[in-house]
Amino acid sequence: MEHDITYYAKKRHTTKAYDADKKIPAETVEKLKELLRFSPSSVNSQPWHFIMASSPEGKERVTAGTDEKYPFNSPSIRNASHVVVFASRLHADDAFLNQLLEQEDKDGRYPTPENKEQTKGGRAFFVGLNQTTPEAEANWLAKQTYLNLGQFLLGAAALGLDATPMEGVDTEALDKEFGLREKGFASLAVVTVGYHDTEIDYNASLPKSRLPYSEILSEI
C-alpha cells in the first residue's frame, strides 16, 4: 500500500542503535545523494558541503567529533551504514555567487540575458541583507543547510531507512579532522543512516511526543 508523506513524518524516529551488518543498497545511496543535492535554499544559495562516510575508516574519522565529548553518539556512527557530515559555507563571496549563476545558466534557466541579470541582482540583494556581520551571514547560510538536513531526515524515512540527526558532535574537532575551515566551511551536524537494531533501539517503540496544535498553530 502506498503511503502519503505524513505517514513517514510520523513513522520516522531518531534511531538510538544500528544493526552493523545491514548496509544500504547502492541504488538507495544514490537516492540519498539526490536528496542532499535537490534541497531548496534561499536564492538557490546551496551553501553546503557533505562528507559521506561508509567505510570503517571513514566513519572512524567522524568519531573524532564524538568520542571525547559525546561518546553516546559514537556507536551509532560506527554501526550505521552511512554517515553524513553536514557542513555549511561561511561566506558567499562573489566567486561563489557567480558559480551559482553560471550553473543555473548551464542548466537552462535563463532564456534571455535579462533573466540572468535579474536573478544576479535579486540574489545579491538577499545575500547583502544577510551580510551585516560575518556571524550573521554564516548563521543565515547555516539555516539553509539545516533545511537540507530536515528534508534529508524525512526523505531517508520515505526510502525505508532509519536515521539519527546529531548535534551532539564537536564541530571544532570535525572541522579540524576534515580541514573544513581552510576551505571556508564549518560543520554543523552529523546524520547517521542505516537500519536500526530491533532489539536495542529503544526509541523505535516509544510513542512520539509533540506539542498540541493549540500550542503551535494559529489558523486565521
Ligand X SMILES: Cc1cc2nc3c(=O)[nH]c(=O)nc-3n(C[C@H](O)[C@H](O)[C@H](O)COP(=O)(O)O)c2cc1C
How far out from the chain centre does Cα 184 lie?
17
By beta-carbon proximity to ligand X, the closer residue of 36 and 100 is: 36
Which is nearer to ligand X, 104 or 172 (by Cβ)? Answer: 172
Query: How near is the Cβ of 8 to ligand X at its closest, in Å?
Result: 11
What's the min distance (Å) between Cβ of 68 and ligand X?
14
3-state secondary structure of 100: helix
* Assigned C-alpha cell, 20: 552493523
Minimum CB separation of residue 203 from ligand X in Å reads: 6
Q: With respect to ligand X, which residue has the nearer C-beta, 18 or 119?
A: 18
**Which positions touch ligand X (CB under 6 A)?**
13-14, 73, 164-168, 189, 203, 208
- Our CB check for ligand X shows the closer of 127 and 169 to be 169
Chain position whose Cβ is nearest to ligand X: 168
| CA atoms of 212 and 210, how far apart (whole Å) | 6
Q: Residues 52, 104, 181, 128: is their CA dihedral positive or negative?
A: negative
Q: What does the block give as the cell for 195? A: 537500519
Q: Nearest distance from residue 17's CB to ligand X, in Å? A: 10
Q: How far apart are the first and last CA of the chain?
A: 35
